[in-house]
Structure 1
Amino acid sequence: MDAHFPAPPLSADDLLVLLAVARSGRFTAAGAQLGLNHTTVARRIAALEAQLGGRVLSREGAGWELTPLGSRALAAAEGVERALGRLDGGDTARIGGLIRLSATDGFSGFVAAPAMAALRRVHPEVQLELITGTRQASHQRTGADLEVVVGRPQVRRARAIHLADYALGLYASRDWLREHPAPQDPEELAGQPLVYFIESMLHVDSLDDARRAVPGMHDAVASTNVYVHVDATRGGAGYGLLPAFLADQHEDLVRVLPDEIDERLPYWLIARPEALNQPAIAAFLEALQARLTEVRPHLLGKPA
């Protein structure tokens, strides 16, 4: 008669590795969070799959997604995490860990960085890596925990959350306007120099569409960085199509045709559902929402 022995309990370490991979979508990012190399992460996942008798992860693009078996294992992994949190001090346990955020330059500087500074005053063990740039949703390519993009994203297996809207207006420096009469109508902008994004490198529909508000203008200074737009406009390179929340900070910039040129663009957050359950990310999102509430009038070009 064959003896039947109970299966050994699942390894808590292996489950926590699965949790880190599920939240980041990448072995390298999970390893960085846990202090493990890529090979060790892969070995831990393989050991967990051997014990469960099936695949817990499947390759999707440049990242990894949970299989149905992996989703069930994730619930056990989150239980391990909660139990460890109680051992560390229950509700008063310290929150720590690395968050990787991909966002536009303007959002990163005006919203995300101050939000993280406020969070670190309460939880100094939370760290933030910011990947800046203006792009379409690229969650699978960057391996970021969170992404903030302009325009409503079309994503699979991720959650999209509308954060806020901001105003894009036309600005010129006071010195420029002393030498060039301010236009009284958008049609008078035809042939005038524009400071904006590099058109051939911009693949964000909302920002592409905003260019239609300034018909007939020619590119004088073009950049992928919105802070370059602001500085070039202040320097007299031409008329800048700028976020109001950045331009309104500078007294040497004047908004031109504010009633006619007032484009409203949305910021959207993209996150893996698993990442939203991570304590550090949940705390950061609370800080982000608090910062957005504070600066919402500035985002719309109406300084409080």
Structure 2
Amino acid sequence: MNAQPMEWNDLQFVLAVCREGTLSGAARTLGVNHSTVFRRISAIENKLGVRLFERLASGYVMTDVGEAMLMSGERIENEVLGLSRKIIGRDLQLSGALRVAVPDALLVKVIMPHLAVFSQLYPKIQLELIISNNFLNLTRREADIAIRATQTPPETVVGRRICTMASTIYGSIEYLTHQIDNSVEAHTWLMPDESLEQLPITKWLSRKYPKAVIGLRCNTLLGLYEAATQNIGITALPCFLGDSDNRLKRIFPPVEELSTELWLLTHPDLRRTARVRVLMDFIEEVLGKEKRLVQGHLPV
């Protein structure tokens, strides 16, 4: 009969019998019963086509092959345990790189002002910020953490819903002051391009104001925000962005159809990693402090 490959579970049984010298001792070490050890050792010997132990009245005594397996097995065991310790140690240590995907406007206006505090608290964690308004693949580790405005986060990720993110239409005070006709369709509209197709403003505008004139498109919210401050036209912006600039004015109260939910997401395999946990807790705390602004509540 040809010998078959040995598995790690097999090696654990062999090592226990080698060290204890009896089936009952090995059973106590492994947390199983006596008969289980007997069956496993017999099955391993049959699978390998060798005898690992001599069965004596005093117990199980290693053959030459058994002694060789003990020496090799202990080296393998040390490697496995060492790897396990390294992995657990890294998980417990607040150090290493973290890739965080976050929309441009939210990063610049809400999160960035707080990151100096995080760096002081956790100087060994290296943040890699990815400006992204689309979903990166958390499964492929394109990012470790993602902050996303969405009603339906992917089923492959886990996370926390932070709050509703309100949006409405803004124009600069100077632009609006000089408009002769302030009807909505008379304005020049600043719109996101196809890379931001997930934003609801495009469908909302075509449904509500199909004759609106689009004067500019941009692939970032910060770009649209800057265009609005430069008196080029009106645009849809998150309230945390528009309300924080006294050059801009709301044309409508927050529009329910333009609002979405803000989520803090990661891959299930990473949610217990220490540096992921502390950053998610930190971002949640930051967004909690800024919640009224994000939800569109004007300062009292």
TM-score, normalized by the shorter chain, greater than 0.5: yes
Structure 1 vs Structure 2: percent identity of aligned residues?
Answer: 16
- Count how many residue pairs are aligned between Structure 1 and Structure 2: 230
SS in 1 for 2:240: helix
- C-alpha deviation, 1:237, in angstroms: 0.9
Does residue 273 of structure 1 match 2:278? no
Does residue 166 of structure 1 match 2:160? no
Distance 1:145 1:194 in 2: 36
- C-alpha deviation, 1:112, in angstroms: 3.3
Correspondence for 1:289: 284
Does residue 204 of structure 1 match 2:203? no
Distance 1:119 1:110 in 2: 16
Give the 3 Å change call, closer, same or farther, for CA 129–225 of structure 1 in structure 2.
same
Give the 3 Å change call, closer, same or farther, for CA 207–149 of structure 1 in structure 2.
farther
Letter in 2 for 1:11: E
Correspondence for 1:119: 118
Correspondence for 2:224: 229
Correspondence for 2:175: 176
Give the 3 Å change call, closer, same or farther, for CA 215–95 of structure 1 in structure 2.
same
- C-alpha deviation, 1:241, in angstroms: 0.8
Correspondence for 1:96: 95
Matches within 5 A, 1:108-147: 108-140=107-139, 143-147=142-146
- C-alpha deviation, 1:294, in angstroms: 0.7
Distance 1:213 1:169 in 2: 16
Give the 3 Å change call, closer, same or farther, for CA 158–131 of structure 1 in structure 2.
same
Correspondence for 2:252: 257
SS in 2 for 1:164: strand
Give the 3 Å change call, closer, same or farther, for CA 229–11 of structure 1 in structure 2.
same
Report if the CA contact (8 A) 2:191-2:202 is conserved. no
Unpaired stretches in structure 2, ≥5 consecutive residues: 1-50, 53-64
Correspondence for 1:215: 209
Report if the CA contact (8 A) 1:168-1:242 is conserved. yes
Structure of larger gyration radius: 2
Correspondence for 2:190: 195
Letter in 1 for 2:144: D
CA deviation vs aligned residue, 1:202-228 (integer Å, no higher than 9, x gap)? 331645545457523232221111111
- C-alpha deviation, 1:97, in angstroms: 1.5
Distance 2:159 2:100 in 1: 14
Distance 2:131 2:89 in 1: 36
Q: Which has the larger displacement, 112-121 or 291-300?
A: 112-121
SS in 2 for 1:107: helix
Unpaired stretches in structure 1, ≥5 consecutive residues: 16-76, 87-93
TM-score normalized by the length of structure 1: 0.66
Correspondence for 2:79: 11
Correspondence for 1:30: none
- C-alpha deviation, 1:290, in angstroms: 1.1
Letter in 1 for 2:162: L
Letter in 2 for 1:168: S
CA deviation vs aligned residue, 1:22-49 (integer Å, no higher than 9, x gap)? xxxxxxxxxxxxxxxxxxxxxxxxxxxx
Give the 3 Å change call, closer, same or farther, for CA 83–97 of structure 1 in structure 2.
closer
**C-alpha RMSD over aligned residues:** 2.9
